[in-house]
Each structure stands twice: as C-alpha cells, then as structure tokens.
Amino acid sequence: MAGIGFQLTKLMQKRTLAGGLHAYGFAALIGSGPWVLSMVTLAALGLVLHRAGAARELDLFFVAVTHVFAFSLVVTGPLQLLLSRYTADAVFSKQDEKVFPSLLGSLALTLAVNAPLGFGFFVGFVPAPPLFQFAAAGVLMAVSAIWVAAIYVTAVKDYTAVVRCFAVGYAVSFIAAWLLSRSLGISGTMAGFLIGQLVLLLTMIRVIYREYGTHAPPSFAFLHYFKKHTDLALCGLIYNLGIWIDKPLHWWLSPHGFPVSGALWASPLYDQAVFLSFLSIAPGMAVFLLTLETTFAGHYSEFFRLVIERGTLREIVHTKELMADALRDSLARLLKFQGAFTLALVLSADRLLASLGLGAVQTLVFQVTLIGVCLLVLFLALLTVLFYLNKTRDALLCCAVFASVNLALTVAGLLADERWYGLGFTSAAAAGTIVAGVLANRALQRLEYETFTSIPLSS
Amino acid sequence: MSPAAKIADVCLVLEGTYPYVQGGVSSWVHQIVTELPEVTFALFFLGSTKEQAVKKRYTPPPNVISLTEVFLFERPPPAQLVPTPLTAAQRAPVYAALRAFYLAPDDAARDGAFWSVIDAFDAAEQAGAPFTFGNLLRDEEAWELLTEVCGRIAPSESFIDFFWAARFVHLPVWLALCARRSIPPARMYHSVSTGYAGLLGAFAARRQRTPYLITEHGIYTKERIAEISQATWIYDPRGRYFDVAEGMGAFKKMWINLFMFLGEVSYTGAHRIVSLFEGNTHLQIEFGADARRLEVIPNGIDPAKFDAALAQRTARLSGGLGEEIVVGFIGRVVPIKDVKTLIRAARAIITREPRAVFHIIGPTEEDPDYFDECKQMVALMGLEKKVLFLGPQNVREILSGLDVCLLTSISEGLPLIILEAFAAGVPCVATDVGACRELIFGRTAEDKALGRAGLLTKICSPLDTADAVLRVISSAENLLTMGRAGRLRAERHYRQVEIMGKYRAFYTDHRWSELSAPNSQLSTS
C-alpha cells in the first residue's frame, strides 16, 4: 500500500508542474504579440510609401498582407497552443533534445499546408504580376512559419529576443520593400517584404538553434498532442477565427466592401479603423504580462509547492486566496491602465484619425473597437489564467462564445447600418470577458477541490 | 462450492485466516468445523489480496456448505471508481448521514450514525441511484466534509498526506461494505475477530435479525495499534521513534481510530463476546465491549491423550528426584519468548542445583541471529553440557521426561503448551502474561481451590525465574503435587469436548442471544 501512495504522489507532482509551465500559459498572448509588432511596422510602411505616391497600387499590397495575416493566424492557430504545450512538457521533463526536431517538423508541416494554400490563392485567384503572386505566397509561408517559430523562441524564455528578431526582420522588410518598390513597383514591395520576413524567420531559428540545436531529423511527435490535447488545438483555431471573422464579413457583406483584385476583398472603411485600434493592445498586454508573472505566477507555484511539499490545508487555501487577490489586483491594474489609455484614444479619436486622413464613420468604428480591444486584453488575460489552471475546456468555451458572438453580431450590424459597425467585435470581446471571468473565478474557487479530487486513486 | 444454496446454521466471518492462512486461529476454526459435523457452516473469508487466497491450507469438511471470498486491498473494480451522476437532491440524504457520522459529538452518537449511513447507502441504491467510491472521491459534498474533518482533527498536518490517508483508510472499509451484498444468509453470525470481519458480522446480524457472536483469540484492536505505531509507510512528521503513549502522527491516529471504531461497531453489535482468558476481557471492555456480554471460553485439549506420559512421569518421580532434573522450554527460539532470560536463569539455577539441565525444544530457524546469540551466550557461560537445543520434538513423548516446564515469554495469549504440560502432570513456571496466571493459579474460586500448578515470575527477570524454578523442583513431592493440580485443572476446565459443547450450544440454541441483546440503537433498523 505504501508503494501505491508513493507512486500517486509522483503522478500528482508531474501533473501539477507540467500544467503550470509559464511558457504554455503565455502562448495565447504571444499569438497576438508579434502580430501587433507586425501591424505597427506595416502601418509605418504604409505611411512612408503613401508619401512616395502610388497609393492605389499600395492598397493591393496591404490587402494582400492582411489576407496573409488572416490566413496564417487561423491556419497556424491550432498549432500554437499545442506546440507551446509540447515544448513546455519536453523542457520540463528534461528532454530538450526533442525541441529542435519538433521545430523542424512543425515548420515542415506549416509549409506543407501553406504552400498549396498560398500558391493556389494568390496565383489562382489574384490577378497580379507573377512576381507579386509568388512573393505573396512566399510571404504567407514565411509569416506562418514565423508564428510557429515564435512559440519556440518563447520557450527559450528570452522574451526580448522575440522583440529583437521582429525589430530586425521588420526593419529589413521595411527597407527592402521601399527600395525594391522603386524599380519593381508593387511586386518589388511584396518581394522586399518577403526578404525581411525570411530574415526574421532565420534569426528566430538561429535563436532557437543556439539554445536547443541538434542535428536530429525533423520530428512529428507533436502530432500526438492533437489527440491528447484536442481542446488546445480547437482553442487556438477558434480564438483566431474569432479575432478575424468580422473582417471578411465586412469585405463581403458591407456596402463599403469590394474586391480589390480577384479574390482579394477589402472594406477600407472598417479595416483601417479596426487595425488602428488593435495597435492599442500593446501597452495593456505588456503590463499584464509583467504583473502576471511577478504576482499571480508566484502564488500559483507556491500553491502547488504547498500541495506537494506537505502544506496544511489552511496554508494551501490561504495561498489560493493570495493567488485570487493577485489576479484581481492585476486585472484591476490592467483595466485602469488600458482603460485610461483607451479613454484617451477615444477622446482624441477625431483629431487622430483626421490627421491620418480618415473620416467620421471610421472614427466611430475606431472608438467602438478601441473599447473592444480594451476588453480583448482582459479576455486574453483571463484566458491565460484558465490555461494556467488547466481549464482548457473552459477556455475553449470562452473562445467559442467570443467567435460566435462576433459572427452573429457582426452580421446583425451589417444588416443594420454603419452606426453598428464594430459593435459585433466589441460585444464579442465583452461576452468572452464575462464568460472567461465567471469561469476563471469558479476555477479559482474550486482550485483545491479540483486539484485534489482529480488525482486518480490508482495510476 | 456455490454460495449458500441453503441457509447455513452459522456463517463464520474470517479475516485473513481459515482456510487460506496457517496459524493458531485457523487451526481452532478447523477444529470447530470438524468437531461439530452436525452444524452447517458458511465461510465468509475477508482477505487482503487475491494472492493470499491461492492455496487452501486446510480442507474444510462437508458440513462447510459454502466459501465466499472478498479482498479488501485489491484494486477496486473500475465501476466503483466512476461516480454515479446524481442530483444534489439524490446526494443530500447520504451526505446528511455522513456528516452526522463524521461530525458526531461523541462515540455513542457516532455509532448510531454509522448505521444510518449504511441505511442511506442502501436507500440510495434501492432508489436506483447507487453511490460508488467514485462519488466519495469526486462529489463536492464529500470534499467539503473532508476539509471540515481535516480542520477538526488535523488542522496543522500536511494536507496531501491527510488526503491520501483518508482515501486509503476508507477504501478497504468501502470494499468491505460492498461485500455486504455477498454475505451468505445464515441463522447466526460468528466472527473470529473484530475489525472488518466484525463490521460485516455486525451488519449481517443486524440486517437479518440473527444472533451475532464474536470470539477473539488476540485483541484485534490492540494488535492493530501495535502494528500501526511501528509502521513506516504512514507519514509521521515526528519520525519513526516516538513513544506510543506520547501520541503519534495524525495519520497513524486515523488508522488507529478506524480500528478502534471497527472494534466498537463489532462489540456493540454482538450478543456475546468471547475471549480466551480473563485478562483479555479487560482489554475488550477498554475497547468498547459491554462487560455484561463478555464470556471466557479458553482453548482446550484432550487430557486422555497424555495419560501415558502422566503415568510414566508419576512412576519416575515416585522414586524421588533423579540424577538430572530436567527443565523444559517448549516453543520457538525467538525474542518474544525471551530465551536469553531463560539462559541467565539457568546459570543461577545450576549454581544452586547442579543436577538441573535445560532442554530447549522447538524450531530455531525462524530467527537465526537470535538463535546464534543464544548459543553464544550458552557457550560464554560454559553451559554447553547443561543447556541443550534439541529442535522440534514430539511434545506428547518428551513431556514425560520433563520435571518442570518453563516459559519466559514477554507476551502470550493462552499458551497451549501449558495445558499440554498440565495434562501430562508437568508443573509450569511462567511469566505473568496472558492467561498464565489463571492457568497456573486458577481463574474461579473453585478452580483456585485445585491448588497451584506451578509458579509465576516477572518478565525479563532471571533471578526471579531461578527462584521460582528452584522452589518448584525443591522436591519430587512438590513436583507431583503441583503436577496433580495441573492435571485436574486441565480435566475440569480445559477439556476440548466441553469447549466444543459450549460452541455447539451457541450454534444450535440461540436463547443466549435473547439474554444479552445488543445496544438499543442496533436493534432498531
């Protein structure tokens, strides 16, 4: 009997520690982090190239890149959380040698899926010069690979490395796109952008190689995780669908939407305002990452340390309460910070957007979606907490609510009129936040119950 | 054998003994079922794991009509680990009963609440909503109760250990309770211990309104306490070396509380509680037995089988003491028998009575280190010619050659060897443990009047032992007088046929149970 008990304690230990790995929890945030960086650069590129003229042609470039982001994030969505979990488990179980081969394997898989998608879409359905078509397909493959590689860079735990890579990559993209556009026009812009993305991808792989490099062949062992952690894969897919679903709806259903070229659609009235408001996500996320890691994560590990290392029930419950306090505290701080920032932007929206040459309807959409983005930050924070608490099923439910509310209310808004634009996304973020808040609160309240009663009686 | 096609006269509830495990209790059970062929028996065997019950050590006679086996330390059946999805309303009565049980203000309230718990489980099952162990593992009400109990009994202990201790303490009880459905029907129940067997015996008798008898050879609760206080597999923050009297870790206490509780449930459910000797009745009272329901029925022998040895010995001694005076020790050479004290006493005896020789009769291979130490001690004292290790011998044959039988045990129950020595007319010098006092000096007034059949000594006292032996062997006359008292005592009070007669009476005429109905809360269901 003694033997059984001992074995079970070990099992418990494995479960709780592996479940609590930080990198895994952060995946949800990382998914949008690099994306924000990309948007900032794109916006800057847009401004510079606009000044250089050729605005109409540039629209094609930006619409194509927007599609690239949408495709790449949705397609790699299922992989993101899954790979975070896989690398976290590998690193935790001291099997570092599994990391690099799985990077190669997941990159191969990503390229294998995106190559036909990219070439099929851009060559088959987008009338443009061949160089543009091929470069665009290349960008889709490169950007998808970048999302995957970013997960592994996070596993290196050098968060600034992610930022450094993006800075270098987008600087090259920016310069090359600008230089090549002068001789090759829009095809040059896309080709130059591709060069920078490839540089970004290679610098990321180099960072990972330095830490985990082996000469082992690519491994596809992570594919087992699709079966084991189906919830995670679905979470990634549905979250990214939820983030994007309102855009194509506006392209196709809004009276302002039109095909820019072939299958490439756009609705500048909506797109520009929404992308601009998404840029406001950055400061809130930085604050949340910081407070989460310093307070919540600390209490979180302390909780499981006490469970395993023979804390009393009172100590365990007390630590959980500290954890809940820390979470409430960082959410409140986040709301204050992001709220103030959002409020400032909402109030200055008129002048800000006028200076960018955008009109009154766009200002309204901008203001509405700014609030949505503020809520999205809270939603992401709560999702991260659910991942921490191993509540992937709950997280999946939140993502489903988020995506379906966005779908339904965006369609409803489009059937009404322009005053309702953007409310679909904002309501979806609000609904997601409420559901995630209720579920996270419940999960925290029941944490010790769940932690203990889910231990199997025998292994 | 198929489980009881017909109702047995007696269901024997056996925990870890007959027919699969060899030992004193098993031999006793075998004797009962063999010597009472007119009584039909159903055996209900509670074992720890299936491995324990691979090979039968005894072949039960044909009057044993069924054998049912249940294992309490096996992996539970998977279905038992899946919680039945029940509504809060369905769970409520069971958890109300469980709360009343675990949070009971005193022992009496708790014992009553226990049967309400069982009734609640049964009611749930009859309503088509059976509780499983999985419910107890997963239900939120169970968790709340667990944390509440933890706050009461182990607020400053490691919770993960409390949690596992709670699981492991309850699992075998749960499996035992699951086994209540397979208890064979019988006209009465007789458990040969308390513990899990007692729990089921008490349950079956209560449910079927039949008499319930307990016979205890050792005191189960006391034995478990001794075992647990030495266990290393239960986490004890104080480490392994602590004084039982000073208290022990909360988790050891949990196990001990369980066995004390099982003892109480058994005792309060029993109509009669039998022990082998007077000393054990005091322990039974201490562990919750009602003094009015206690009875002493010792082990017995057939004195006639020793007639030849008695005759030989009497003839030999009638000519006075011989050139050698043989002091016999009959038993295993193990520390609990304290052979070393015997050797030290031998040294003191030989100094004063050079004719004395010591025969140590019994197996020596159980504890080879101890045997070596004993031999070295003998050599060191220069007693190789006087203290002889003879190994196992036929007891009936060697008894006639002994002048006195010596027992130096630190602990004993009712040592059969004393009865055998008495039957052969050999007086005994024994430590004052277990039943030795009532065997040597007599139990009742009438018994005492038969005279002393030897002397008692303090444990671990070579000088006291030497004095007693010297006094007994002072003359052939003394040896014969004491031997006669012993023989008479064995004939009058320890005859196997009479003891079997008492059990036959228990089994065939249930009037005894009406005279001592168990506690009121047990008779109302």
**Interface touch B75/A458, C-beta < 8 Å:** yes
Looking at A17-26, B263-272, B303-312, which range is the least confident one?
A: A17-26
Which DSSP category does A391 fall into?
-
Same domain, A292 and A398: yes
SS3 B407: strand
Residues in chain B with CB shorter than 8 Å from the CB of A459 are: none
Domain end residue (candidates: A244, A270, A290): A244
B13: tokens are 């509830």
B350 vs A280, more confident? B350
Among A228-232, A394-398, B234-238, the range with the most confident prediction by mean pLDDT is: A394-398
Q: How many Cβ atoms sit within 10 Å of the Cβ of residue B430?
A: 27
Beta-sheet pairing, B294-296 with B325-330? unpaired
A386 within domain boundaries: yes
B266-295 confidence digits (pLDDT tens): 999 999 999 999 889 999 999 999 999 999
SS3 B457: strand
Looking at A39-43, B407-411, B460-464, which range is the least confident one?
A: A39-43
- pTM tops 0.90, yes or no: no
A352 within domain boundaries: yes
A339 within domain boundaries: yes
The owner of tokens 């003359």 is B475
Nearest CA-CA distance, residue A134 and chain B, Å: 57
Same domain, A78 and A33: yes
B173 vs B245, more confident? B173
Indicate the number of domains in chain A: 2
B161-191 confidence digits (pLDDT tens): 889 889 989 999 999 999 998 999 999 999 9
- Amino acid identity, residue B461? S
Alpha helices (runs of H) in A52-98, residue ranges in sequence order: 55-92
Same domain, A339 and A209: no
A309: tokens are 């290392």
The C-alpha angle with vertex A385 and arms to A379 and A386, in degrees rounded to 5, equals 90
Task: Say yes or no to pLDDT of A29 above 60.
Answer: no
Q: Best of A307, A313, A442, A449 to disrupt the B interface by mutation (most B CBs within 10 Å)?
A: A313
Q: Is B391 on the interface with A (CB under 8 A)?
A: no
The string of DSSP codes covering A297-343 is: HHHHHHHHHHHHTT--HHHHHHHHHHHHHHHHHHHHHHHHHHHHHHH
Q: Is A117 on the interface with B (CB under 8 A)?
A: no
Q: Is A313 on the interface with B (CB under 8 A)?
A: yes
Task: Say yes or no to pLDDT of B520 above 70.
Answer: no
Same domain, A229 and A313: no
Inter-CA distances, B458 with B68, B433, B436, Å:
45, 9, 12
Q: Is B230 on the interface with A (CB under 8 A)?
A: no
Which DSSP category does B183 fall into?
P
Alpha helices (runs of H) in B353-410, residue ranges in sequence order: 368-380, 395-399
Same domain, A294 and A229: no
Residues in chain B with CB shorter than 8 Å from the CB of A313 are: 147, 150-151, 155, 159, 162
Q: Best of A1, A304, A445 to disrupt the B interface by mutation (most B CBs within 10 Å)?
A: A1
**Interface touch B158/A311, C-beta < 8 Å:** yes
Give the closest residue to A271 by CA, choosing from A431, A86, A46, A455.
A46
Looking at A215-219, A451-455, B214-218, which range is the least confident one?
A: A451-455
Q: Give the nearest partner residue to A312 out of B75, B156, B171, using CB atoms.
A: B156
A268 within domain boundaries: no
Q: Is B167 on the interface with A (CB under 8 A)?
A: yes
Residues in chain B with CB shorter than 8 Å from the CB of A456 are: 81
Cβ B453 vs Cβ B422: under 8 Å: yes
Task: Measure the CA–CA gap between B396 and B424, rounded to whole angstroms.
Answer: 8
Same domain, A328 and A443: yes
pLDDT value, residue A37: 66
pLDDT value, residue A170: 86
- Which stretch of DSSP H or E encloses residue A264? strand A264-266
Give the closest residue to A375 by CA, choosing from A284, A440, A292.
A284
The dihedrals phi and psi of B432, each to the nearest 5 degrees, come to: -85, 70
pLDDT band at residue A288 under the 50/70/90 scheme: confident
Within 60-89 of B, beta carbons closer than 8 Å to A belong to 73, 75-76, 81
CA A410, distance to chain mean position in Å, is 21
SS3 A180: helix
- Amino acid identity, residue A375? L
Residues in chain A with CB shorter than 8 Å from the CB of B160 are: 9, 12, 307-308, 310-311
Q: What is the mean pLDDT of residues B303-314?
A: 94
Q: What is the mean pLDDT of residues A236-247?
A: 92
Task: Say yes or no to pLDDT of A123 above 60.
Answer: yes
Task: Measure the CA–CA gap between B452 and B484, rounded to whole angstroms.
Answer: 9
Give the dihedral sign, CA A210/A214/A220/A222.
negative
What residue in A sits closest to B134 (Cα-Cα)?
A: A457
Q: How many CB pairs under 8 A join A and B?
A: 55
Task: Measure the CA–CA gap between B404 and A52, rounded to whole angstroms.
Answer: 123
Q: How many residues does chain B have?
A: 525
Q: Give the nearest partner residue to B137 out of A310, A316, A457, using CB atoms.
A: A457
Beta strands in B32-106 (DSSP E): 41-47, 64-71
Task: Say yes or no to pLDDT of B461 above 80.
Answer: yes
Q: Does domain B303-494 have CATH number 3.40.50.2000?
A: yes
B343-380 confidence digits (pLDDT tens): 999 999 999 999 999 999 998 888 899 999 999 999 99
Cβ A442 vs Cβ A263: under 8 Å: no
B14: tokens are 């056996």
Within 278-307 of A, beta carbons closer than 8 Å to B belong to 307
Task: Say yes or no to pLDDT of A7 above 90.
Answer: no
pLDDT value, residue A4: 30
**Interface touch B159/A457, C-beta < 8 Å:** no
Domain boundaries, given as residue ranges, for chain B: 10-74+184-296, 79-168, 303-494
Looking at B46-55, B349-358, B469-478, which range is the least confident one?
A: B46-55
Task: Measure the CA–CA gap between A122 and A422, rounded to whole angstroms.
Answer: 28
Q: What is the mean pLDDT of residues A214-237?
A: 91
Domain end residue (candidates: A244, A259, A294): A244
Cβ B141 vs Cβ B121: under 8 Å: no
**Interface touch A316/B159, C-beta < 8 Å:** yes
**Interface touch B76/A457, C-beta < 8 Å:** yes
Beta strands in B133-223 (DSSP E): 189-191, 212-216
**Interface touch B137/A458, C-beta < 8 Å:** no
Same domain, A341 and A412: yes
Q: What is the architecture, at CATH level 2, of domain B10-74+184-296?
A: 3-Layer(aba) Sandwich (3.40)
pLDDT value, residue B237: 59
Give the closest residue to B356 by CA, choosing from B440, B479, B451, B456.
B479
A12 within domain boundaries: yes
**Interface touch A313/B150, C-beta < 8 Å:** yes
Give the closest residue to A214 by CA, choosing from A97, A388, A59.
A97
**Interface touch B159/A1, C-beta < 8 Å:** no
pLDDT band at residue B232 under the 50/70/90 scheme: low
Beta-sheet pairing, A264-266 with A258-261? antiparallel
Same domain, A384 and A283: yes
Task: Measure the CA–CA gap between B213 and A289, rounded to whole angstroms.
Answer: 70
Q: Is B161 on the interface with A (CB under 8 A)?
A: yes
What residue in A sits closest to B147 (Cα-Cα)?
A: A313
Peptide linkage before A34 cis (omega within 30 of 0): no
**Three state DSSP letters for B276-309:** CCHHHHHHHHHCCCCHHHEEECCCCECHHHHHHH
- Which stretch of DSSP H or E encloses residue B454? strand B454-457
**Interface touch B155/A313, C-beta < 8 Å:** yes
Tell me the average pLDDT of chain A. Answer: 85
Residues in chain A with CB shorter than 8 Å from the CB of B163 are: 452
Q: Give the nearest partner residue to B159 out of A5, A311, A458, using CB atoms.
A: A311
Q: Is B138 on the interface with A (CB under 8 A)?
A: yes
Nearest CA-CA distance, residue B249 and chain A, Å: 14
Same domain, A174 and A43: yes
Within 234-293 of B, beta carbons closer than 8 Å to A belong to 235
Looking at A278-292, B134-148, B347-361, which range is the least confident one?
A: A278-292
Task: Measure the CA–CA gap between A135 and A190, rounded to whole angstroms.
Answer: 6
Residues in chain B with CB shorter than 8 Å from the CB of A308 are: 160
Task: Measure the CA–CA gap between A79 and A59, rounded to whole angstroms.
Answer: 30
Residues in chain B with CB shorter than 8 Å from the CB of A310 are: 158-161, 235
Quote the domain boundaries for residue A72.
2-244
Q: Is A316 on the interface with B (CB under 8 A)?
A: yes
Same domain, A176 and A325: no
Beta strands in B218-373 (DSSP E): 272-275, 294-296, 325-330, 356-361
Cβ B132 vs Cβ B119: under 8 Å: no
pLDDT band at residue A451 under the 50/70/90 scheme: confident
Task: Say yes or no to pLDDT of B243 above 80.
Answer: no
Give the dihedral sign, CA B61/B64/B68/B73.
negative
**Interface touch B155/A312, C-beta < 8 Å:** yes
B434-443 confidence digits (pLDDT tens): 899 999 999 9
A248-274 confidence digits (pLDDT tens): 999 999 998 999 888 999 888 898 888
A138: tokens are 């290349």
pLDDT band at residue A334 under the 50/70/90 scheme: confident
Q: At what angle do helices B339-352 and B368-380 cross, to 10 degrees?
A: 20
**Interface touch A313/B171, C-beta < 8 Å:** no
pLDDT band at residue B54 under the 50/70/90 scheme: confident
Cβ A244 vs Cβ A32: under 8 Å: no
**Interface touch B158/A12, C-beta < 8 Å:** no
A270 within domain boundaries: no
Same domain, A72 and A214: yes
Return the percent helix, strand and coil in chain B, to nearest 5.
55, 15, 35
Same domain, A157 and A300: no
B339: tokens are 């052979």
| Intrachain domains B10-74+184-296 and B303-494 with the same fold | yes
A251 within domain boundaries: no
